[in-house]
A and B are shown apart, each in its own frame.
Chain A
Amino acid sequence: MAQLFSRRATTIFRVVLTLTPLAAAAGGGLTYAWLRSDAAWGVGKPAPQPIPFRHDLHAGVLKIDCRYCHTGAERAADAGMPSAQTCMTCHSQIWAGASVLEPLRTALALDTPLRWRSVSRLPDFAYFHHGAHVSKGVTCATCHGRVEEMPKTVKARTLSMGWCLECHRDPGSRLPLHTAVLATAEKKQPSGQAPRAHDTSLLMSCSTCHR
């Protein structure tokens, strides 16, 4: 009877024994790196929109305030998307016959909403309130980046829980109060005073965001 194992079998076995854990570790490492990368969170990825709306034109060139269209940002949980009526405030006159605005005219005629797609939507298990953040001095750009420079609206930050907590751990040092795009937050504080002392323990409590 011939030998079951060749002479090289021991070497092959040793090589496989060494490489398998190494490959597993490398695979794990790559997965970890991928999950933490911006791409995995959809950063920089535009969403399909009913109309090719340009923030760089409306907010950048024309300097229309964020709150003109996102009226809920200061007081509601949802910043809100503009209604067809809001768009028509100007577009009843400007670009009135443009074919790209056809969905807008249809929405208005049929009394149906224009379905803009949010690129910054948080999952259902995270409770987020725009008003709570804006009134404490968090600017739009803190989370949404420089939207006024975006031809296509994209997510600017991962908006992962780890990213939220970076600020929730130490909000005082991170809030750019003095360069606030929204002057409201500053005005609400009595002059010369730091923003209301943030109770960090409350900010770090699970049930603050997961209700």
Chain B
Amino acid sequence: MRLIAPMLALAALAACDSGTESREEAASTRAVQREHTAIPYGTASRGTAARAAALASPGSSATPELLDRGRERFLIFCSPCHGASGRGDGLVVSRGFPAPPSYHQERLRGAPFEHIVSVITNGTGLMHSYADRVPPEDRWAVAHYVRSLQRTEAQTAGASE
């Protein structure tokens, strides 16, 4: 008789959740992605001024290192759609993405560097903004590389005529 109370307590405990049931099966797949939190009104995030300065015209001047950097960034972020030569024939286009305009048309050949940087920053048409992926200094590097692509293309076109 004296055992009934402890037995009942044990039975009640048996239904308790140990917290282990809901855990992920594979311990190596813990998700640590942080929620996006908007910047509070009236404040600026660290590095805002530096980013703005890096984005300001006329940007960095074209050095071989900058062009190398631009080429590398171009191949990562732009070539999937624009193609390695800038003709708008990237592999993603072959899968059904509407082809972007070629860099080698008259309108874009005459476009200032600022236009290219602004398109990377804000996007245009179907192109999304790349501001979250390409930092300001790299945008100038890409712009310089795009310009060098246009020049090379114009030269080869001129030579073949």
Most buried by A among B28, B35, B76, B92: B28
Contacts of A65 in B (CB 8 A): 75-77
**C-alpha gap A89/B27 in the complex (Å):** 32
* Residue of chain B at shortest CB distance from A41: B28
The secondary structure that dominates the A interface is loop
A117/B31 contact (C-beta < 8 A), A62-B91, A93-B97 known: yes
Using a Cβ–Cβ cut-off of 8 Å, how many residues does chain B contribute to the interface with A?
A: 29
* B26-49 to A contact mask, C-beta < 8 Å, 1/0: 111111111110000000000000
Are B26's CB and A62's CB within 8 A? no
* B49-74 to A contact mask, C-beta < 8 Å, 1/0: 00000000000000000001000100
* A103-115 to B contact mask, C-beta < 8 Å, 1/0: 0000000011101
**C-alpha gap A41/B29 in the complex (Å):** 12
Contacts of A174 in B (CB 8 A): none
* A78-95 to B contact mask, C-beta < 8 Å, 1/0: 100101011011101110
Are B92's CB and A62's CB within 8 A? yes
* Residue of chain B at shortest CB distance from A182: B72
**C-alpha gap A187/B64 in the complex (Å):** 12
Are A85's CB and B128's CB within 8 A? yes
Residue of A47, A71, A115 near B33 (CB, 8 A) is: A115
Contacts of A83 in B (CB 8 A): 132
Are B28's CB and A42's CB within 8 A? yes
Are B133's CB and A71's CB within 8 A? yes
Are A94's CB and B29's CB within 8 A? no
A47/B29 contact (C-beta < 8 A), A89-B128, A92-B128, A187-B68 known: yes
**C-alpha gap A115/B29 in the complex (Å):** 11
Nearest CB on B from A22, distance (A): 33
Residue of B36, B96, B128 near A94 (CB, 8 A) is: B96
A64/B30 contact (C-beta < 8 A), A93-B97, A184-B72 known: no
Are B72's CB and A42's CB within 8 A? no
Contacts of B76 in A (CB 8 A): 65, 67-68
Contacts of A63 in B (CB 8 A): 80, 91
Check A204 for interface membership: any CB of B closer than 8 A.
Answer: no
Contacts of B68 in A (CB 8 A): 187
Contacts of B32 in A (CB 8 A): 78, 118, 121
* Residue of chain B at shortest CB distance from A66: B76
**C-alpha gap A45/B25 in the complex (Å):** 11
Check B126 for interface membership: any CB of A closer than 8 A.
Answer: yes
**C-alpha gap A68/B95 in the complex (Å):** 18
Residue of A68, A112, A113, A183 near B133 (CB, 8 A) is: A68
**C-alpha gap A85/B25 in the complex (Å):** 29
Contacts of B31 in A (CB 8 A): 115-118
Nearest CB on A from B92, distance (A): 6
Nearest CB on B from A103, distance (A): 14
A64/B33 contact (C-beta < 8 A), A90-B97, A94-B96, A187-B68 known: no
Residues on A facing B (Cβ under 8 Å): 41-42, 45, 47-48, 61-65, 67-68, 71, 78, 81, 83, 85-86, 88-90, 92-94, 111-113, 115-121, 155, 159, 183-184, 187
